[in-house]
């Protein structure tokens, strides 16, 4: 079940970055990796990804700032952006939604939940029908 979907992964923690890269590659996605906000914006403009997985807490430009820039970049306004965060405090989900994110994934990453969530944002094409990963 492969897809040609390009997913930009923005993560400053090398272990998290490698885990996400592995999970996406293993499920047929094409991950692009950015380790900071400035690279993320540049890569989003160049690659026009189908989905952006964006860490919230990064040095320099945090995920909120990156999302704001992307949301105001011509041609990227409708790009799906999913926050990837360990923040699970009261109000975090609301702040993420208010900042223009389309969803969020909690850290630590659970591989099954992670792939199922990605599948909600990027349908996989089969020879006979379209369906989301994890659904039959």
Q: 74 lies in which domain range?
A: 6-131
Q: Output the pLDDT for position 89.
A: 76
Number of domains in the chain: 1
Q: Output the pLDDT for position 55.
A: 97
Distant-in-sequence, close-in-space partners of 15: CB < 8 Å, separation ≥ 6: none
Within-domain flag for 73: yes
Q: Output the pLDDT for position 4.
A: 80
Q: Output the pLDDT for position 132.
A: 42
Within-domain flag for 127: yes
**Contact assessment for residue 67 and residue 100, using Cβ atoms and an 8 Å cutoff:** yes
Task: For the chain, give the secondary structure using H, E and C.
Answer: CCCCCEEEEECCCHHHHHHHHHHHHHCCCEEEEECCHHHHHHHHHHHCCCEEEEECCCCCCCHHHHHHHHHCCCCCCCCEEEEEECCCCCCHHHHHHHCCCCEEEECCCCHHHHHHHHHHHCCEECCCCEECCCCC
CATH number of the domain enclosing 45: 3.40.50.2300
Beta bridge partners of 103: 82
Within-domain flag for 136: no
Within-domain flag for 1: no
Q: What is the mean pLDDT of each run of 10 residues along the chain (136 residues)?
A: 81 97 95 98 98 96 97 96 86 90 94 94 53 35
Q: Output the pLDDT for position 127.
A: 34
Within-domain flag for 40: yes
């Amino acid at each position: 079940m492969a897809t040609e979907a390009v997913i930009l992964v923005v993560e400053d923690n090398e272990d998290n970055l490698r885990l996400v890269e592995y999970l996406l590659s293993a499920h047929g996605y094409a991950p692009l990796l950015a380790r900071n906000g400035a690279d993320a914006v540049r890569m989003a403009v160049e690659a026009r990804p189908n989905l952006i997985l964006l860490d919230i807490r990064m040095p320099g430009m945090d995920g909120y700032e990156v999302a704001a820039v992307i949301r105001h970049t011509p041609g990227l306004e409708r790009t799906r952006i999913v926050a990837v965060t360990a923040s699970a405090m009261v109000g975090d989900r609301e702040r993420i939604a208010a900042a223009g994110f389309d969803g969020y994934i909690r850290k630590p990453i659970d591989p099954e939940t992670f792939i199922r969530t990605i599948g909600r944002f990027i349908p996989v094409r089969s020879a006979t029908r379209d369906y989301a990963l994890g659904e039959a």
